[in-house]
Amino acid sequence: MQRTRLNTLIEVRGQQLTQFFTNPWRRISLTLLGFLSGFFIGAALSTTAGQNAEWDVVCAALVLIFCELISRWIYQRRNPNLSLGAEVINTFKVGVTYSLFLEAFKLGS
């Protein structure tokens, strides 16, 4: 790729962002934010899809495909150390799954 100003700017900002998130507390905060946003999205999906009872199967299939693709992408790696983006996406998936289990328990009781 050519060394244009835009390319240099993007590269420098990416390095600064990576250096910013090397702090463990910022990394934990970002993964916690991923988990909580996944929890919110999962709860919102289950309540809005269950409202009409028409999109239940489609929504469940999409969530299943999303979770399986993320799991395959994360766990087929040979290197056990995850990048920050992969870790946030994985905790987002865990948040979605956890919220769906919690919704199932609420409906079952």
Report how many domains make up the chain.
1
Predicted local distance difference test score (pLDDT) of residue 35: 97
Q: Is residue 28 part of a domain?
A: yes
Query: Residue 62 sits in which domain range?
Result: 24-108
The three-point CA angle 47-52-56 to 5° equals 65
| Helices within the chain (DSSP H only) | 5-20, 24-52, 56-75, 84-108
How confident is the model over 68-95, as pLDDT tens digits?
999 999 989 888 788 888 999 999 999 9
Q: Is residue 8 part of a domain?
A: no
Q: Is residue 10 part of a domain?
A: no
Q: Is residue 12 part of a domain?
A: no
Q: Is residue 92 part of a domain?
A: yes
Q: Is residue 91 part of a domain?
A: yes
How confident is the model over 20-62, as pLDDT tens digits?
888 889 889 999 999 999 999 999 988 888 787 788 888 889 9
CA distances from 40 to 4, 8, 37, 98, 100 (A): 41, 37, 5, 10, 10
Q: Is residue 17 part of a domain?
A: no
